[in-house]
Amino acid sequence: MADQPETPTMETLDPQTPSPPSSSSSSSSSSNVSYSKPPNPSFQNQNPSPMPSSVTRLWRPAAQRNLRNQWSKLVSCRKQWVSSSSSGKSHATSLVNAISLRVFIFVIYMPSMELGVLSDMLNIRKKAGRKLFKQQETFQSKLLSSYKDMVAAVTQMVNASKSMRTFLKGPSNSALVQFSSFSGDQNDSGDGGGIPVFAFWSISSHEQLAEELVRMFIMELNLKRLLVLELLSTSCDDPQVNELHWSDQLYPGEFEHLSMCNLFSQETCEPVPPKLMDLKSDAPTVRSNNQPNPEVLQVLDSTLCITK
């Protein structure tokens, strides 16, 4: 062991991340991803106090570990997204096929069909209709579950992209130097004064890259919500009872999760409608059509299949 200094110095990184709110604790049987609000530290200070050189030497390895952890979370969330998206495509295709079969049998084929001896069976048409509708409900539930998993994955991506800074925990002259993912001092920007962490990349560079990556998933999530809404609405029997609107929650707590992804407008109190990047959407609030149109169903299914 080297000569012991007069004051031993240690560095640790607090791995804690924000715990999920109680309202988001309801879990889906098909999802192991929990929801948590991303930290919102204040980085507005224009003249942060520089760290002592001794603390900076300890800050860099702590910041490197934190960046590795956050990028690993992003990779894990992307895998969760790919899995949920693939499942959603499969369930959407099954739902479209079930709707098309039901429309063909009861709108085109059944009215002119001679049942023969089967006509003696009481309510045979209604029983067959209920069976097919139950099949639709099963695929609807699975599709919605996949959508919830995708929302969970994107929410955690946002959380990770906003947790890349490493803050000094406690006074810099303390005998035990600790670091945290949360800001305890408004003069601490969490980026080590802009010094590179890996090669020439600073914390801000990593944040910008992560933000650009997450933004792509956020935009695609917004489009997938529109497709899921249409598929859930198209298979409804009673438009007056089951009609869905863009401003409706597809599951309890959805709006809270969408707000974490900046997909919920506090002004209109409804989700932000899909739009092209950096362009303002002047389209009216989306309202779904409950009538099962084969062409529309095919377009919805194809759009889900070509999105990643």
Burial degree of 125 (CB within 10 A; 0-12, 13-18, 19+) = middle
Residue 141 has a pLDDT of: 94
Q: Does the CA dihedral 206-207-212-218 come out positive or negative?
A: positive
Rounded to 10 degrees, what is the CA torsion of 94, 96, 98, 100? -150
Which H/E stretch holds residue 80? Answer: helix 53-103
> Facing residues of 201 across strands?
198
CA atoms lying within 13 Å on the CB side of residue 274: 14
Sketch the domain layout of the chain as residue ranges: 50-111+119-306
* 3-class state of residue 198 by DSSP: strand
Burial degree of 71 (CB within 10 A; 0-12, 13-18, 19+) = middle
**Lowest mean pLDDT across 70-74, 143-147, 257-261, 275-279:** 275-279
Amino acid identity at 197? V
What's the pTM value of the predicted model, to 2 decimals? 0.72
Neighbour tally for 51: CB within 10 Å: 18
> Facing residues of 180 across strands?
167
Is 91 in contact with 85 (CB distance < 8 Å)? no
Distances (CA, A) of 238 to 141, 234, 295: 18, 10, 21
Share of the chain above pLDDT 70, in %: 56
Interstrand relation of 264-265 and 270-271 (parallel, antiparallel or unpaired): antiparallel
Residue 224 has a pLDDT of: 93
Q: In the predicted model, what is the mean pLDDT of residues 181-201?
A: 75
Q: DSSP assignment, residue 111?
A: G
> Facing residues of 168 across strands?
179
Report how far residue 125's alpha carbon sits from residue 130's, in angstroms, rounded to the nearest whole number: 9
- Phi/psi at 267 (nearest 5 deg)? -75, -45
Residue 97: band (very low, low, confident or very high) from pLDDT cuts 50, 70, 90: confident
Q: Does the CA dihedral 148-149-151-155 come out positive or negative?
A: positive
**Lowest mean pLDDT across 10-14, 100-104, 145-149, 251-255:** 10-14
- Residue-wise pLDDT for 100-145, tens only, equals 777 666 665 555 556 665 565 556 667 777 787 888 889 999 999 9
